[in-house]
Copies of this chain bind each other. A is one copy, B any other.
Amino acid sequence: MSERTQIRVRGYHIDFFGHVNNARYLEFLEEARWRFFEEPGGAIGFTRLKLDFVVANINISYRHPAVMGDLLEIQTRIREIRRSSAVLHQAVRRVGQARMVVEADVTFVFLDAVSGHVRPISGEALALLEDLPGGAEAKGV
């Protein structure tokens, strides 16, 4: 589990406009989510509960362009836990700078890995989420 992921902007991240491409940020955010849910506590726990994590919505704001060579840091936190969905907040900044580069709310649901149906977030799954950064304050927002 890691709340922070660093990515150095390389030539293949840049597009025609000379900035990191819109779509590429979603890979950066996905990279950060994999790290966020890594053990202990995260992915393994949800797998044991036979829950699949599915992204339902991403609301991403492009605040300030990142360019070649920038060292970006993505901070991920649980922002809100609802009855059957939860929201991660992911903020991308340059290391050591306050200015936001990209900011996103990622809404996800848990599917029962067997039936494929959406499962309410309760019991052990809820406890696992509450243990992640931001999780303790996210309940009942």
Report which A residues bind B (CB closer than 8 A): 8, 10-18, 21-24, 26-27, 30-31, 34, 52, 54-62, 68
Contact = CB atoms under 8 A, between A and B. Distances in A.
Contacts of A61: 56-57
Given A12-B27, A14-B16, 12 more contacts: A10-B34, A11-B16, A11-B34, A16-B18, A17-B52, A21-B30, A23-B27, A26-B26, A55-B62, A57-B60, A57-B62, A58-B59
Nearest to A31: B10
Chain A contact surface mostly: mixed
Contacts of A34: 8, 10-11
Could you say which of A26, A52, A60 has the most chain B C-beta atoms within 10 Å of its C-beta?
Answer: A26
Given A55-B62, A59-B57, A60-B58, A17 B23 contact: no
Contact of A12 (B21, B58, B60, B62): B21
A57 B31 CA distance: 20
Given A55-B62, A56-B61, A57-B60, A11 B30 contact: yes
Nearest to A60: B58
B22 A26 contact: yes
